[in-house]
Structure 1
Amino acid sequence: MKRFLATGAACLALASAAQAQEAPADAPKPMDQPRDWSATLTQDSTGLHDIMIDSHPGVHDPLNPAFKPRLEEGLTVALERAKTTTDAGGWWWALRAYVASFEDGHVGINITQPNYGFPTRWPGFLTIYRGADQVVVDREPADAATPPLGARLIDCDGVAAEALAEQRIGQFRGRWFLEAQRTLYGDWQFLSAQNPWIGEMRQCRFEADGATKTYALNWRATPEDIYARRAKLAQRAATDFGLKHFDDGGFWISTPSFNGDPSSETHAELTALIADMKTKQDALRLAPYVVLDLRGNGGGSSHWSQLMAEVLWGDAWMAAHPEPAIEAVEWRASDGNIAEISAFLDKLRATNGQPELITWAEDAINGMKAAQAAGQVYWRSANDEEPADAAPPPPAPQLMAGRVYVLTDSSCGSACLDAVDLWKTAGALQVGRETSADTVYMEIREPVLPSGLAQIAVPMKVYRGRARGNNEPQRPQYVIAGDMSDDAALLAAIRRLQPD
């Protein structure tokens, strides 16, 4: 049976024209130049719409009839907002809302000017989600007019806390129904970044120690250390690639990315990591436990997780325990998509990339060109049919003596989710936190919008028959509470899960 190479969001984000270039220190900053922002929003929202019409597989997807109306409605809203847009904030947040309306983590947008950020304001405190509640976790200690740490938000200006978050954050981030989105962006509830499409609340009610109190909000510039404060609240791990061996015989393997760009540093580190795993294969298979750490991994190419699975469980075990097959992949046959895969193929050839990836890229290019010639919108790459009387694979030995744990956090998406699918099917146990989620639209390219100020992420293909549905996260068998950046605490929690 043919096995698809399921590459994801980060794989084809190559050094294309979409990548922002560093400008000289004294060069004018594009975002700060005088500009007709109303016309810019009209131009860019129309450009975003036209790129999607030209290249996104959802436009003609018979299984997603809501896609085209959503695309048109988003443009209508953006053009209406353009009538009153007067600054960069209005332009940016209108575009963010348009992108968020697709409810798809593979449809994204970034400003092309490196390290650009809008000035932020706050009322002297921040909240994050703890379960379903939004609680105060950071405040100016000398400001008695702000709610105390641990206070739970009830409402602001008469709008209930969850509805308020949907309006102020979910509208511009999308997929607010996911725990991962609330974990990643919940601290935006009391931040303001020049977004004219939402106002700054005047007063809010909080509950603390059984008592409810109303607080008037005094909005002002955020302190200089606001990014450090937010980073501390996020508790996101800053892991490096590597394989650690502990005194009790256990192993910890960290893969914070599955980037598929053959010229990237990540590619080199993953190649070295898998070579190290092969060298230590016998010890890994005899270990009492192996932790596959995916914290911070936003995707890339599932090629890497397949290689790792083969090192651990072996070809025979993986053949006997295949993950649910994808029936087919349909590529949207457009000039832009063909050009993107062609550039990727050129890089593979220039760097002596893996033969299977080269074959995959050649097939995709030739297939899309053939579809175009035949006047078809998709090129379909389907799994080969196995004979109905095909014998099941022979029993395979379990080569892993101990447990394999897959450690996930809210960053896990795209090819990271493919890794969790694969490894759990092989027998691994998921621990940590609920992952993010993706749709069946995959393989992004990153064209620049007409203004040159932003680039978007656009999927080029669609999976057919994937077992995991649209925006369906992976949930751990064992939830680990606490700080997801605390390696020692996580290791101790995993050791407690070990059988006696």
Structure 2
Amino acid sequence: MQRLLTASTAGLALAVCAGAASAQDFRALARQDLAAAHDALRDNHPAAVLPGAASEDFRSWLDAGLADAVAKAGQVNSGDSHAYLMRYYAAGFRDSNIEITPTFEGMGPYFVTGWPGFATGWRNGAYEVTYVQPGVRNLPPVGAVLVDCLGNTAEQIAQERLDRWEGDLTTEAGRVRSAPYLLWNRNNLWTGGVPALCNFKVGNRRPREYRLLPQPLDAATIETAYRATVYMPGATPLAVEQVNGRPWVHVHSFADSAGWDAFNAQIEGDIASLRGPQGFVLDLRGASGQSYRSTTRGYGLANRIWTPEFTVSRQPAAGEITYRATAGNRQWFVETLARMEADPRFVQESGPVIEETRAIIAAFDAALEADQPLFTLAGRSAVQDTGAANPVQGQVVVLVDSGCSGGCLDTLDLLTRLPNVRLVGATTATDSIFIERTNARLPSNYSDLSYGHKAWTSRQRPSHQPFTPATGLTFTGNPTDEAAVRTWVGTLF
């Protein structure tokens, strides 16, 4: 169940678990966790010692960001404020694979402690009203664009209230997914509550001032407001349906729990239709997944539809992978190898991966023995075209949005190389060349740190670069209006 009304629910729960922890305890725990995260990243992350532009954000923020966050730690007085400060430090690296997340029930997408009765979305380069609570008077109408609040421009407000706290505003996806929170109170003590006075502009009219009053909170209304602003997948993330006479393949998650065995069986059963001349839609909106298996699932889906013989020569080469030679990073591979060897299905299906992992551990041993900070191993090279015919006769429209992240982006690295495939929709999330996450519990036991422990130094797509549909293939309407999206997609065939 999502948390809604309580200003410090997480903090209170943690206090009970810790024996009525005081505000001073939370301050100390915040400083302790920040120092531990800093040291773990300094001692194990490749960007700390790897030269090049991809490491610049990391090195500029590692110490400066710690000082910034520690200066704020004196205000931490609850589980929520502890979680926000940890998120702030992690987000400052501008690396989607560096995260610090709470181990308790966190601030989900519909969490709010105060709101003005409407939501804003990031639309066409501005913050626009996307939802207004029915029955509430004197609110800006849907479509109104925020100009300023008490002298601060909309952009200044976004930087102060959203950047690093709710998302990475250096990315389009970060702006899209954090936009509903712009004028909401999410119990972040560093950004304050609902602003009192704001100016909005409708069309070519002069800006009009609105007094914003906190409105009663209702869980269903808050969720409706967010879902009216940002596309959120439904309860069934994997499915195939017929839309306007052609298959529409839904892949809205790469998670283990999404139901991949049944879905893959459905794909295989519908393969004749998917390969037909009418074409099909592959809907990857909201599709996320950070594990190695997420990428494997994406490639597996492509192989089922196009055949491995056709895709193999179009898969991006793995190229060189650079490893940070530390005992901690070596231990990750030792533990991973043990899990692989204990899984009979993995042993049967992925024996070469096990041998590759053993070779990586041996390379760690050699590098540590020689006191080398880094070592590089060659990955899979590009494969020559096999000459296999393309079994898919029709056009393929791949629909993406800001929720396409992690394994979804790896899948796009392959799909965008296939013939008769067009990428449409909206700009995706970004990812990092620092991949394959280490997860570690921080000393407070209230937060987990995760970070990529190796660098894909030869990846063709740079760090922090999203996929963006070409001009004419970008949907500019309401991304949550499913009927409008489907009608628009139908015009692309």
TM-score bucket (shorter structure): 0.7 to 0.9
Matched AA of 1:425: R
Displacement of 1:328 in angstroms is: 0.8
2:417 match: secondary structure: helix
Partner of 2:442: 449
1:157-306 to 2 correspondences below 5 Å: 157-200=150-193, 201-208=195-202, 210-219=205-214, 222-225=217-220, 226-238=222-234, 240=236, 242-244=238-240, 246=242, 250-259=246-255, 264-266=256-258, 269-299=259-289, 300=291, 301-306=294-299
Cα distance, 1:74 vs. partner? Answer: 0.7
Q: Secondary structure at the match of 2:165?
A: helix
Provide the residue aligned with 2:489 in structure 1.
494
Answer whether contact 2:425 2:475 (CA < 8 A) is retained.
yes
| Identity %, equivalent residues | 26
CA drift of 1:321 comes to 3.3
CA distance in 2: counterparts of 1:493 and 1:220, whole angstroms: 36
The whole-number CA distance in structure 2 between the counterparts of 1:246 and 1:220 is 42
Question: C-alpha separation between the residues in 2 aligned to 1:193 and 1:459?
Answer: 29
* Letter of the 1:166 counterpart: Q
- How far off is 1:33 after superposition? 4.2
Q: Which amino acid in 2 is paired with 1:55?
A: N
How far apart are the structure 2 equivalents of 1:486 and 1:220? Answer: 26
Q: Call closer, same or farther: CA 1:106–1:205 in 2, change over 3 Å.
A: same
Q: CA offsets, 1:5-24, max 9 Å, x none?
A: xxxxxxxxxxxxxxxxxxxx
Verify: 1:77 aligned to 2:62, yes or no.
no
1:123 corresponds to: 116
Instruction: Identify the range of structure 1 (283-292 vs 411-420) with the bigger mean alpha-carbon deviation.
Output: 283-292
Shift, 1:76, TM fit: 0.5
Mapping 1:387-402, distance limit 5 Å? 393=385, 395-402=387-394
Q: Structure 1 residue 136: deviation in Å?
A: 2.1
Corresponding residue of 1:22: none
Aligned-residue offset at 1:31: 11
User: What residue in structure 2 maps to residue 49 of structure 1?
Assistant: 38
* 1:385–1:219 CA distance, 2 compared to 1 (3 A): closer
Q: What CA deviation, in whole Å up to 9, does each residue of 1:178-208 have, x standing for no partner?
A: 2211111101111122322223433221123
Residue 313 of structure 1, CA deviation: 2.6
Cα drift, residue 105 of structure 1: 1.2
Flag the 1:286–1:52 CA change in 2: closer, same or farther, 3 A: same
**Is the aligned partner of 1:418 residue 2:413?**
no
SS across alignment from 2:162? helix
Confirm whether residue 59 of structure 1 aligns to residue 48 of structure 2. yes
Matched, 1:105 2:96: yes
Q: Please give the per-residue CA displacement for 1:371-409, whole angstroms capped at 9, x wherever unaligned.
A: 3233223342214678xxx9x646442221111221212
- Name the counterpart of 1:310: 303
Structure-2 separation of matches of 1:141 and 1:462: 50
Give distance in 2, aligned partners of 1:26 and 1:192: 21
Q: Which amino acid aligns with 2:223?
A: Y
Aligned CA RMSD, in angstroms, stands at 3.0
CA distance in 1, matches of 2:19, 2:87: 16
SS of the residue corresponding to residue 229 of structure 2 reads: helix
- The answer as to whether partners of 1:408 and 1:434 remain within 8 angstroms in 2 is yes
Q: TM-score, normalised by structure 1?
A: 0.83
Instruction: Tell whether the 8 Å contact from 1:235 to 1:483 is kept in structure 2 after alignment.
Output: no
Contact 1:97 1:171 in 2 (8 A): yes
Matches of 2:202 and 2:482, distance apart in 1: 32
Shift of 1:52: 0.8
Q: Does the 8 A contact of 1:29 with 1:113 survive in 2?
A: no
| Residue aligning to 1:12 | none
How much does 1:342 deviate? 3.4
Superposed displacement of residue 362, structure 1: 3.1
Which secondary structure does the structure 1 equivalent of 2:454 belong to?
A: strand
| 1:349 match | 341
Aligned residues: 463
Q: Give structure 2 stretches of 5+ with no counterpart.
A: 1-12
Letter in 2 for 1:216: R
Is 2:29 aligned against 1:34? Answer: no
Mean Cα deviation higher: 184-193 or 286-295: 286-295
The 2-side partners of 1:248 and 1:194 are apart by 45
Sort the Cα spacing of 1:90 and 1:357 in 2 relative to 1 into closer, same or farther, 3 A: same
**CA contact 1:444–1:460 (8 Å) conserved in 2:** yes
Displacement after TM superposition at 1:62 (Å): 0.8
Q: Secondary structure at the match of 1:466?
A: coil
**For 1:248 and 1:241, how far apart are their aligned partners in 2?**
20
CA distance in 1, matches of 2:485, 2:138: 37
Distance in 2 (alpha carbons) for counterparts of 1:162 and 1:337: 40
What is the aligned partner in structure 2 of residue 367 from structure 1?
Answer: 363
Cα distance, 1:161 vs. partner? 0.7
Letter in 2 for 1:295: R
One-letter identity of the residue aligned with 2:198 = C
State whether residues 241 and 270 of structure 1, in contact with CA within 8 Å, keep that contact through their aligned partners in structure 2. no
Asked whether the equivalents of residues 100 and 171 of structure 1 are also in contact (C-alpha less than 8 Å), the reply is: yes
* Structure 2 CA distance for aligned equivalents of residues 408 and 137 of structure 1: 20
Query: How big is each residue's C-alpha offset from its partner over 1:322-364, in whole Å with a ceiling of 9 and x where there is no partner?
Result: 43x3431112233333333333333333332132443343343
- Is the 2:319–2:381 Cα contact (8 Å) retained in structure 1? no
Q: 1:488 to 1:384 in 2, by over 3 A?
A: closer
Change (3 A) 1:218 1:246: closer
The answer on whether the counterparts of 1:322 and 1:426 sit within 8 Å (CA) in structure 2 is: no
* C-alpha distance 191-347 of structure 1, shift in aligned 2 (>3 A): same
Distance 1:228 1:333, change over 3 A: farther
Equivalent position to 1:466, from 455, 459, 466: 459
Given residue 283 of structure 2, which amino acid in structure 1 is its aligned partner?
Answer: D
Relative distance call for 1:58 and 1:250 in structure 2 (3 A) is same
Rounded to whole Å, the distance in 1 between the matches of 2:18 and 2:404 is 33
Per-residue CA deviations over 1:30-62 (Å, capped at 9, x if unaligned) read 597434222121111111101111221111111
- Greater shift, 236-245 or 417-426, is seen at 236-245
- The one-letter amino acid paired with 2:399 is L
Q: Which runs of 5+ in 1 are unaligned?
A: 1-24
